[in-house]
Chains A and B, each alone.
Chain A
Amino acid sequence: MPLSWAIFASFLLAAAGYIIGRSRAFASAGPDVRKLHSRPTYHGYSVALTALFPPLAVLALAGLLRMAGVLSAEAGPVVGLLALGAGVVGLGLGVTRIGQQFQARNAVERMVLGLLMLCSLIAIVTTAGIVLSLVFETGRFFQVYDWRTFFFGTEWTPRFQGNSQLGIVPLLWGTLYISFIALLVAVPIGLFAAIYMSEYASGRVRSIVKPAIEILAGIPTIVYGLFALITVGPLLRDYFAQPLGLGNSGSSVLTAGLVMGIMLIPFVSSLSDDIINAVPQSLRDGALGLGSTPSETVRQVVLPAALPGIVGAVLLAASRAIGETMIVVLGAGAAAQMSLNPLEAMTTITVKIVSQLTGDSDFNSPETLVAFALGLTLFVITLALNVVALYIVRKYREQYE
């Protein structure tokens, strides 16, 4: 942090500005402080902010130029002095504005509002950063590797010495297969748990089960990953795969799928719970009043009414499953293959992103750059699922508001 002294000095300058501004305001007010438009504190803030913004802007700009390679590291002291100069100029400008008529409060509020707005733009900046970095590096990958082989190639065999086969199809197959199994576990269990909690469970049961399910949601995925690696994987291998002669690998599609399913249960159940509770009570009363049993009410009235919301929830869960990393890294294995046997080890897009980017190979080799293409594919798939799901869920909520 070579320029930390400059940042520190700017803040000192701002503090000084606050004191000067306040005392100047008192002075200009004369004997009666009420003659000022704004309270002296606001004059202080106003000067402090006008002194603080210019040097910070200079430093931020310099930082960007430095990253872009326009500015060399030797320019540090010059930039620092430039920043301090800007600060002093800002301070001077701020002080000259002080007077009985100066609307310091409004000025401060305008600056603060600008700051707030800037902060809210960070979301867009993040998204832009994600898209830019993915697209840029993917572009570089496609310069050295044919995009058709990437998207349609059914073989994934990266080699250090080059000439790798980098087809995404087997990875996509593994990803979808594991996600499918995960949803097969999570959707019925999560949905039934949510139905039971909202339609049947007594207050006491709810007060125990709900927090327990929340605990399941709060457990980091690495814990699930370890669980898959040391418990579920060996269990499936010793009691299913080997006796049935279907394979002898602890890592398998089923291992990762089961554990991921458990991880998604709280996600599905809490989303479904919200959605089922949004169905108005009057519909339940109507069905019960006609003599349906509670389960008929749920199956024939509540669930059809909640269907769009539940579809949205399932899509969100699918997007989670596709993007999940640690469970598959530890539970699914690393073999890129396309097989229907769920007890065989397969691999996913996320596993390969990790293994290609944590290896030692040259950063500019196609073997490393392919990770960005995989990342972009993953981002596009999950984004599409999220956009559709969030749209459906929002439309659903509006219907009952």
Chain B
Amino acid sequence: MTDLPLSQPAAAMPGRRTGSLLAQDDRTRRRNAAESRFRLYGVIAIAISMIALVVLLATILTGGAGAFRQTYLNIPVTLDAEVLDPNGNRDPAEMAKVLTLAYGRVLDAAVDGTIARHGIQIEGLSEADIDGLISREASAQVRDRVLANPELVGQTVEFDVLVGGRIDGYFKGRVTMDSAERDSNTSPQQLMLAQELADRGEMVTRFNWNFLTNADASDQRPEAAGVGVAILGSLYMMLVVLVLSVPIGVAASIYLEEFAPKNRLTDIIEVNISNLAAVPSIVFGILGLAAFINFAGLPQSAPIVGGLVLTLMTLPTIIISTRAALKAVPPSIRDAALGVGASKMQSVFHHVLPLAMPGILTGTIIGLAQALGETAPLLLIGMVAFVRNFPDGLPGGLMDPASALPVQVFNWTQRSDPAFIERASGAIIVLLIFLLCMNLLAIWLRRRFERRW
């Protein structure tokens, strides 16, 4: 001890705090004020995040709820045999030659009839207003039903036909008398007519299953557009991702975590995987376009290509979470298996892998959920195309053009009719419900099988 000991008495030390503990001095008060401010910043940060979450979900939910309700007009349609079956033999093949246009005329007559029956008189109501009341899709709707059941021809049948997008919007509050004044696609008179029909119970707005089962519809017919093709396309892609990424991802993780020697190659692989996980998704889209479509010659818009691209994107996520799950299995389990004479491979496949399974499944589901919501790479491989036909069953359907839920959302945001924004929000609700289910499943798996060592 060469240093000088402290020699002065305590009271003489400079800067020693004196005074009672029970009273805060100025400096402490200032410091405590700074403390409260700092805490407040934290509270504000969390409040902003929470508000953002609530506002985000609320706008989507309120905006999209309308897509699940649809307005229909109930009218008796006289299916005039002379127009619909000129040859009179009820042969579906010959009746198929009758154009949708003819059904449109039959429907127009039916609408006129209904208006006349109720004696509705509206000043300034034009013929175009009456014809525009029902959707252009309605005649196709009627035609499909007649072709499926030719016996209907010649009878008067009650139909629930889709009404036009503007009329539907009126009952959902999107279209008002004021906006109709400025809109060339509708008029206040048309809305009044719709209101009259609704008052008489002929026009009703009710739950819309067709939104989930219909295919996309053209620009002019938002009321007929649905997410059926998109759901099926997304489902196909998820199947491809599941079938490819799980075995490959788990195999790669097992190798890297359990067998790989520590050398340059494995180092490169590891750095590579963590970097791949952070590569922008759109770059994977470029890869898909260049490798799978231009080089390998796979068809555009096909779920197989989307699935392959999403597989490559999901693999890093699955590998990272699988390795974490494998790492969490204590070495004592491996030692125990090796101790009774199992080979390394047997110890991994018989003991480590089953114990890591819940963690692997959780990671896989989260990876799949990510893939399900991914949009950008799918745009580049042509999934944004307008697809009206459902893809075939598996496995051939993998090569057919299809859409995907998030891409369908994007597609609808690019349309001019604001009714499509409602559809887009509705499609997001469907997407979020799928994601919610997947995440709940992951949470359940984690709770149910979580093991602590």
Direct contact between the two chains A and B in their complex (CB within 8 A): yes
Interface residues of A (CB under 8 A from B): 1, 67, 105-106, 109, 112-113, 115-117, 119-124, 126-127, 129-130, 133-134, 136-137, 188-193, 195-197, 200, 209, 212-213, 215-216, 218-227, 229-231, 262, 265-266, 269, 293-296, 298-299, 316, 319-320, 322-326, 329-330, 350, 353-354, 357-358, 363, 371-372, 375, 378-379, 382-383, 386-387, 390
CA distance A122 to B308 in the complex (A): 13
Q: Point out the residues of chain A lying under 8 angstroms from B421, CB to CB.
A: 230
A319 and B46 contacting across the interface, CB-CB below 8 Å: no
CA distance A136 to B279 in the complex (A): 19
Task: Enumerate the 4 nearest inter-chain pairs by beta-carbon distance, A residue then B residue, closest first.
Answer: A323-B280, A220-B373, A196-B42, A133-B290
Using A193-B42, A329-B376 as known contacts, list a sample of 4 further A-B pairs with CB atoms less than 8 Å apart, ordered by residue number in A.
A120-B269, A200-B42, A358-B380, A375-B282
CA distance A67 to B293 in the complex (A): 10
CA distance A209 to B53 in the complex (A): 11
**Binding-face segment, B66-74, B127-135, B312-320:** B312-320
Given contacts A67-B296, A293-B35, A295-B35, contact A375 B43 (CB under 8 A): no
CA distance A182 to B406 in the complex (A): 23
Decide yes or no whether B59 CB sits under 8 A from chain A: yes
Decide yes or no whether B56 CB sits under 8 A from chain A: yes
A323 and B413 contacting across the interface, CB-CB below 8 Å: no
Decide yes or no whether B243 CB sits under 8 A from chain A: no
Q: Point out the residues of chain A lying under 8 angstroms from B45, CB to CB.
A: 188-193, 196
CA distance A220 to B430 in the complex (A): 12
A-B contact pairs, 27 of them (CB 8 A): A67-B295, A117-B260, A119-B252, A122-B248, A123-B315, A130-B279, A130-B287, A189-B48, A189-B49, A192-B45, A192-B46, A196-B42, A197-B46, A220-B435, A224-B56, A225-B410, A225-B413, A226-B409, A298-B38, A319-B278, A320-B278, A326-B375, A350-B280, A357-B285, A358-B379, A379-B279, A387-B275
Q: Point out the residues of chain B lying under 8 angstroms from A372, CB to CB.
A: 286, 290
CB distance from B52 to the nearest CB of A (A): 5
CA distance A193 to B42 in the complex (A): 5
A374 to B, closest residue via Cβ: B286
B280 and A325 contacting across the interface, CB-CB below 8 Å: yes
Of the four ranges (under 10, 10 to 19, 20 to 34, 35 or more), the interface on chain B belongs to 35 or more
CA distance A279 to B168 in the complex (A): 58
CB distance from B227 to the nearest CB of A (A): 13
CB distance from A370 to the nearest CB of B (A): 12
B286 and A222 contacting across the interface, CB-CB below 8 Å: no
**Interface on chain A toward B: helix, strand, loop, or mixed SS?**
helix
Pick from A119, A200, A269, A324: contact of B255, CB under 8 Å: A119
Given contacts A200-B42, A222-B406, contact A133 B32 (CB under 8 A): no
Q: Point out the residues of chain B lying under 8 angstroms from A200, CB to CB.
A: 39, 42
A223 to B, closest residue via Cβ: B428
Given contacts A119-B252, A189-B45, contact A326 B410 (CB under 8 A): yes
Given contacts A137-B290, A326-B410, A382-B278, contact A193 B424 (CB under 8 A): no
CB distance from A124 to the nearest CB of B (A): 6
